[in-house]
Chains A and B, each alone.
Chain A
Amino acid sequence: MLLSDLTIEKTKEKPSCESYDCVIIGGGPAGLTAGIYTARARLKTLLLEEKAIGGEIVVADIVENYPGFPKGISGSDLTSAMEEQARSFGVEICEVGAHSIAVEGDDRIVNTTDDRRIVSKAVIIAAGTESVKLNVKGEKQFTGRGVSYCAQCDGAFFRDKEAIVIGGGDTAIGDAIFLTRFVRKLSVVHRRDKLRAEKILQEKAFGIPIIEFIWDSVVTEIKGAKTVQAVDIKNLKTGTSSTKRTDGVFIFIGTKPNTLFVKDIVTLNESGYIITTSEMGTNVPGIFAAGDVREKTVRQVSTAVGDGATAGAAVQRYIERLETVRE
């Protein structure tokens, strides 16, 4: 079983050149798609990824709403195929983070976390989002000792145990369903009286007998000794608090954009998302943004892919214009 799923990394640890036509920051669906478009336009393209190629969807056990896969596909299978496709057109992929972006005349400079300076004509920021913390007592202390933000990574540690999932969106409910493969009992704690997740996911979750729903409630403290043993839950409607025994706490209450490293160069909205035009342009010519990192309403693989294609094509037009002006 394990051997059927060997990952062979084809990623380089450092870029082979110092200058590119286009540097893409982030290797999720948006960045990989942008790369397919820029590379097919014969632009010399470098993609930087600091964590894992594929973006956050690699931890999704199954993606059922991305067109073309009627039986669903795992997030990692989907993005490995995207990666292979991007690579086949010549996108160079490097396992290193972007530290900052600077503008020097027509050059867009990307400084990397390993202190490299990469010169490019255009940059696409496709850095996605990361999960937000709950910010309650015990969360930090028990991170890795029962508190988790990745069901795919850590689910196996909760075989025949009890766990709670905090949140009511697609990720929370999708992962709650996934975790029922391992746990004996699962409770979903949600601060409202209905879920935000897709209806079809809700129906599935409501049909699993070992999932219990605790509505209108928030977790106020995570308790334990060596590892998590219980949580304090407060009902927001009645104001009453109770303690619930549990072995694991999976937190999926929302996301925030990975934009700290570009906050001084592009305009962000009050929540930190990058503001773009419909062509994915930011306030800085030659710097584009695509995918979950930008201000928009639907954050999904299919919309990330659409953004990536738009940004890739926009970069092509931008560079053509740049070169006509120069001539």
Chain B
Amino acid sequence: MGVLQEKDKEYLRNEFSKLKNDVRLILFTQEDGCTYCSDEKMLMDELSSLSPKIKVEYYDYGGQADKKDTYKVDKFPALIIEGAKDYGIRYYGIPAGYEFASVIEDIMDVSQGTTNLSDNSKTRLKAINRPVRIQVFVTPSCPYCPKAVRTAHKIAIENEFVTADMVEATEFPDISNRYSVQSVPKIVVNDDVEFVGALPEDQFVDGVLSALEQH
């Protein structure tokens, strides 16, 4: 049974024909205690079937600690979209609903190794010289969330110090509670800075850079 409709597959095959470098979809799942792991696996299988350039790798979150450490993932299901290198793109929880579009766009970007962030943003992001973790909390029914996820992921692609996580808030209630997430998209940078809403790119970059001024 497939999840994607034929016309969507057709569209995606065509999009993926523009891929440059190979893209690896690396998925950490666990048998027990994971509502959406098998769904996400099925989704990744289908995506990879649409292009020879898209490869999938599956790891067991509990059983393959070495891999878990390599990719520094701290919960499951965790998806990493890797191009010529690991750009720091993470999806925690299933990227379903509106978030599926983010996965497609990320695949296109990592394959090229570039993004369409403005030249001004790219220059400003060069100021980042130590690790920054951006967490973007979302729900699958939030139409404004993909924009925030994509901006964070583009920043991760542009700057090697940045890791950017999509976190599906309802799948990780404890973490969402810790950050008092009650509206999405909510963006948390290094535990220091937080903001709500799909801000325009320049303001999003302001938010990320302001985390560098802390401590």
Enumerate chain A interface residues (CB-CB to B < 8 A).
2-3, 5-10, 13-14, 50-52, 54, 58-59, 76, 95, 97, 113-115, 143-148, 150, 152-154, 156-158, 226-228, 248
Whether B181 and A58, one on each chain, are in contact in the complex, defined by CB atoms closer than 8 angstroms, is no
- Quick check: A5 and B140 within 8 Å, CB to CB? yes
15 interchain pairs (CB within 8 A)? Answer: A3-B96, A5-B97, A7-B100, A8-B104, A10-B11, A51-B147, A52-B146, A114-B116, A114-B118, A144-B182, A144-B186, A152-B143, A153-B144, A227-B180, A248-B182
Given contacts A7-B101, A227-B182, are A76 and B143 in contact (CB under 8 A)? Answer: yes
Please, which residues of chain B bring their CB within 8 A of the CB of A3?
3, 39, 42-43, 96
In the A-B complex, list the 3 residue pairs whose CB atoms are closest, starting with the nearest.
A144-B196, A9-B101, A2-B96
Binding site for A on B (CB under 8 A): 3-4, 8, 11-12, 36, 39, 42-43, 94, 96-101, 104-105, 116, 118, 120, 139-147, 169-170, 176, 180-184, 186, 194-198, 200-201
Q: Is the interface of B mostly helix, strand, loop or mixed?
A: mixed
> Does A7 contact B98, Cβ atoms closer than 8 Å?
yes
**Bound Cα distance A115, B147 (Å):** 18
Complexed CA–CA distance, A9 and B12 (Å): 10
Residues of chain A lying within 8 A (CB to CB) of residue B144: 51-52, 150, 153
Which residues of B are found within 8 Å of A227, using beta-carbon distances? 180, 182
In the assembled complex, which residues on chain A have CB atoms less than 8 Å from the CB atom of B176? Answer: 157
Q: A153-B142, A227-B182 are in contact. Are A97 and B200 (CB under 8 A)?
A: yes
Most chain B C-beta atoms within 10 Å of own C-beta, residue among A6, A157, A228: A6
The minimal Cβ–Cβ distance linking A260 to chain B, given in whole angstroms, is 13
Nearest CB in chain A to that of B36: its residue: A2
B105 to chain A: which residues have CB within 8 Å?
9, 13
Given the complex, which residues of B lie within 8 Å of A114, measured CB to CB?
Answer: 116, 118, 201
**B183-A156 in contact (CB<8A):** no
Most buried by B among A3, A13, A114: A3
Of the candidates B8, B180, B198, the one whose C-beta lies within 8 Å of that of A51 is B198
